[in-house]
Amino acid sequence: MTKKLKRPEVLAPAGTLEKLKVAIRYGADAVYIGGQAYGLRSRAGNFTFEEMEEGIQFAREHGAKVYVAANMVTHEGDEEGAGAWFRKLRDIGIAAVIVSDPALIMIAATEAPGLEIHLSTQASATNYETLEFWKNLGLTRVVLAREVSMAELAEIRQRTDVEIEAFVHGAMCISYSGRCTLSNHMSMRDANRGGCSQSCRWKYDLYDMPFGRERRSLKGEIPEEFSMSAVDMSMIDHIPDMIENGVDSLKIEGRMKSIHYVSTVSNCYKAAVDAYLESPEKFEAIKQDLVDEMWKVAQRELATGFYYGTPTENEQLFGARRKIPEYKFVAEVVAYDPQKKLATIRQRNVINEGDQVEFYGPHFRHFETKIKNLRDAQGQKIERAPKPMELLTIDLDQPVYPGDMVRGLKEGLINLYQEDGSSLTIRA
C-alpha cells in the first residue's frame, strides 16, 4: 500500500506588505510577519495593525495564512500591554503567533483565548519530549531548532503528533538557535529583543598569544581576517526527505530580503513540493533547474546546515567565494497589452536597450529575451534607464502578467575554487 504523503505548507518571510503579496502570489501557503512589538527584527518593515488587516484580506483571497512573530526574550516590563496586543491580533484574523518566551506564551494563552500559538525556534526544541511538553500547554506547532538532524527530525515525527515547522532556506545563526549575546557586548544592541547587529558577520583580527608573553596580531600573515559566520541553508534538492519525514511547514528565512529573493525562493519551494507530490521522477527531472534558479538571487553560499551532519570549515564564510549569484533584479511587470505586444515595467535597476534579460512569474514560468524598443513614461525612445521606480515600456512578443519579475545578468567577477584549493577568477 502506497504511503499517503501530507502536503507541507510553504512558509515565506514578509518584511513588508509588498513582500507579503509577492510571497503569496509566488506560491507561499503562509507568510510570517513582524508587528511593532515583541519581535526580533527591529529594522524590518514591521506591520501596523492596518497593514496587517490588508495583508490578511489579501491572504484570504488567495487561500493563504498570516502568522506574526513575537519571539523576543522579555525582560521586566517588556510584557506590559501584551495581552491587549495579542487580543488585537486574534480579532483582526492573524492565524497564529510565533512565540519563544514562556511569559508571552502564558499571556497569549490566558488573555487572548482562541489565538493559535506556535513555539519559535528561539526556544531550541530538539527532541520529542519538548514538543509534548509544549503540546500539553496548548501549543499546536513547534518550529524546530536549526541544530536538529534529519535522523532526529524523523524520530520526533514518529513520537509526536504536534505540527512540525522546520527551516529549509536562509541564514544560519552561529549561536544556538539564535540565542546569542555577541551583539549585546559589542554594540550594546540586544539581539534577543530585536536589535542584533550581526557581530558574528564582522571581520576580526587573529592573534598569536604565547603563554606569558605579549599577544601578536597575525594581520598580513593570513589570507583574510576571521569571521564566525556560517553559509546559508538550502534544502531545495532535499525536499523529498522533508516531505517523507512528515514536516508540516517548510520555513524560509529572510524578512529583510528583497522581493526578488522572496519571489524566487517561494516559487522554487512551491514547485519542488508540487513536483515531488506528483511523482519522485518529476522532482528529479526539475531538481537541477530548481538549484540553478536559486542561484539567481543574492545570497551567501549554500549548505544543508545540521541536517546531514555537523557543519565543518567548509560551511563557514572564509576564503574565496566558491559561487556567487550572477543575476540582478531589474524590473517588475505592471501591465501587458497583447494587441500591441507592449509590456509596461517598473524599473528597479539600470536597464539598457539590448540587455539580455529573463522574465519569470508564479508557477515557475520563465523565458529569456532582449530589451527591445525601450521607452520612458512619456513614450520617448531611450538607450538607458538609470532612474529607480521609473515606468518604462518595451516591445515583447510573449505575454507576461502584472507581478512578473525581470532579472538580468550582473557585470563583475566570480571567484571559484579549483580542485587544488587555489582560487580562479572569471568574468561573469
**256 and 395 co-located in one domain:** no
pLDDT greater at residue 320 or residue 68: 68
pTM, full prediction:
0.89
In the predicted model, is pLDDT for residue 224 greater than 70? yes
**276 and 396 co-located in one domain:** no
In the predicted model, is pLDDT for residue 193 greater than 70? no
The residue-averaged pLDDT of 357-376 equals 96
Among 7-21, 30-44, 315-329, name the most confident range. 7-21
The pLDDT value recorded for residue 45 is 61
**50 and 134 co-located in one domain:** yes
The pLDDT value recorded for residue 70 is 93
In the predicted model, is pLDDT for residue 372 greater than 50? yes
Residue 225, in any domain of the structure: no
Residue 349, in any domain of the structure: yes
pLDDT band at 419 (very low <50, low <70, confident <90, very high): very low
**343 and 294 co-located in one domain:** no
Distance from C-alpha of 121 to C-alpha of 147, rounded to nearest angstrom: 10
In the predicted model, is pLDDT for residue 207 greater than 90? no
**191 and 246 co-located in one domain:** no
What residues contact residue 190 under an 8 Å CB cut-off, 6+ apart?
Answer: 183, 184
**Average pLDDT for the chain:** 89
31: domain CATH number is 3.20.20.380
The pLDDT value recorded for residue 412 is 43
What residues contact residue 334 under an 8 Å CB cut-off, 6+ apart?
Answer: 344, 345, 346, 391, 402
Percent of the chain with pLDDT over 90: 68
Calculate ∠ Cα 40-46-47, nearest 5°: 135
**168 and 185 co-located in one domain:** no
Q: Enumerate the β-bridge partners of residue 141.
A: 118, 163
The pLDDT value recorded for residue 43 is 52
The pLDDT value recorded for residue 322 is 67
Backbone angles phi and psi of 131, in degrees to 5: -65, -40
CA torsion 160→165→166→169, rounded to 10°? 170
**148 and 273 co-located in one domain:** yes
The pLDDT value recorded for residue 247 is 98
Residue 377, in any domain of the structure: yes
pLDDT band at 301 (very low <50, low <70, confident <90, very high): confident
pLDDT band at 88 (very low <50, low <70, confident <90, very high): very high
**203 and 266 co-located in one domain:** no
**387 and 248 co-located in one domain:** no
Residue 416, in any domain of the structure: no
Instruction: Write out pLDDT tens, residues 139-160.
Output: 999 999 999 999 999 999 999 9
pLDDT band at 267 (very low <50, low <70, confident <90, very high): very high
**192 and 340 co-located in one domain:** no
pLDDT band at 426 (very low <50, low <70, confident <90, very high): very low
Write out the residue range of the structural domain in which residue 354 sits. 327-409
**145 and 112 co-located in one domain:** yes
**129 and 109 co-located in one domain:** yes
Q: How many domains does the chain have?
A: 3
393: domain CATH number is 2.40.30.10
